[in-house]
Amino acid sequence: LPLTPDGQTPIRVLTIAGTDSGGGAGIQADSRTMAMCGVHACVAVAAVTVQNSVGVSGFHEIPPQIVADQVRSVVGDIGVGAAKTGMLASTAIIEAVAEVCGEVGIGRGQAVPLVVDPVCASMHGDPLLHAEALDAVRHTLIPIASLVTPNLDEVRLITGIDVVDDASARRAAEALHGLGAQWSLVKGGHLRTSTSSTDLLFDGDVFHEFTSPRIDTGNDHGGGDTLAAAIACALANGYPMPDAVAFGKEWVTRCLAASYDLGAGHGPVSPLW
């Protein structure tokens, strides 16, 4: 993405998500990705996780009003070209985020596009969303998404569809679009049956496929966050959705190839360039 000349105001993107004390995923991955994409990162913290490379051992939710106030404060002064959501933890936070996004012009059909990464659990299976909040993800969060980017576990939880091949991936993309997302992206990266990784993008009309070589690394913590953040950066730069997804996909593939070891578990996807 184009770099901003010294002294000039860069493009800004807002992430509304959870922190990762281990610095691998969540807001840390988002801000690192945005900085590397030449974009100023604004952050509205929705939850604080207790986390390292091995897993998430707990989290603390920020009061919904404070989450919404962070969004209001940033948009009212700094202004953003795109936004993304990550870990939102609860129904109350999802409802507050949807309400404030509507108020400040973020989301589907509004001036500022919104990438919704419907984070439900960590790769270790540790919950990052209360089970009761799945309905709010389906009926409050996804309907305001310009793009929704679930992995296959999230697809199963949200739509009940088990993606095992191209036909089921297409059904899932249609189901997500049916819930109200303007675009849906079904990420095939967790389908372990292939030497490549194919993501399927759908706008209710046309399917776009994005395939990249599978990078075999255990250091894949925060991959979903990195992809969604890079897509948001491209959208803020005015890319049409398919071009933004192609940019994000290439970005996360390069990051996976350059990821590093950290702690006893999974190192982060976003490298230090």
Q: Give me the residues that bind ligand PLP (CB under 6 A), please.
A: 17-18, 20, 25-26, 49, 51, 56, 86-87, 119, 122-123, 128, 221-225
Strands (E), 139-271: 147-148, 183-187, 196-202, 207-213
Paired tokens of 21:
């004390």
Classify the C-alpha dihedral 8-247-163-218 as positive or negative. Answer: negative
Whole-number minimum distance, CB 24 to ligand PLP, in Å? Answer: 7
Find the shortest distance in angstroms from Cβ 9 to ligand PLP. 28
In the complex, the smallest distance separating the C-beta of residue 126 from ligand PLP, rounded to whole angstroms, is 8
> In this structure, what token pair is assigned to residue 268?
């982060």
Residue 119 CB, shortest distance to ligand PLP, in Å, is: 4
> Least separation, in Å, of the C-beta of 28 and ligand PLP?
8
Closest approach, Cβ 249 to ligand PLP, in A, equals 16
- Tally Cβ neighbours within 10 Å of residue 125: 9
Q: Tokens 């959705």, residue?
A: 241
> 18 or 113: whose CB is closer to ligand PLP?
18
Please provide the distance, in angstroms rounded to a whole number, between the alpha carbons at the two ends of the chain.
15
241, HSE (Cβ side, Cα atoms, 13 Å):
23
Nearest-angstrom CA–CA distance, 100 and 134: 20
Please say which residue, 121 or 179, places its beta carbon nearer to ligand PLP.
Answer: 121
Nearer Cβ to ligand PLP (10/141) = 141
Do 271 and 47 meet the contact criterion of CB atoms below 8 Å apart?
A: no
Of residues 10 and 87, the one with the C-beta less far from ligand PLP: 87
Give me the residue whose beta carbon is nearest to ligand PLP: 26
Residue tagged 């088990």 (tokens):
162
Among all chains, which residue has been given the structure tokens 């509507």? 102
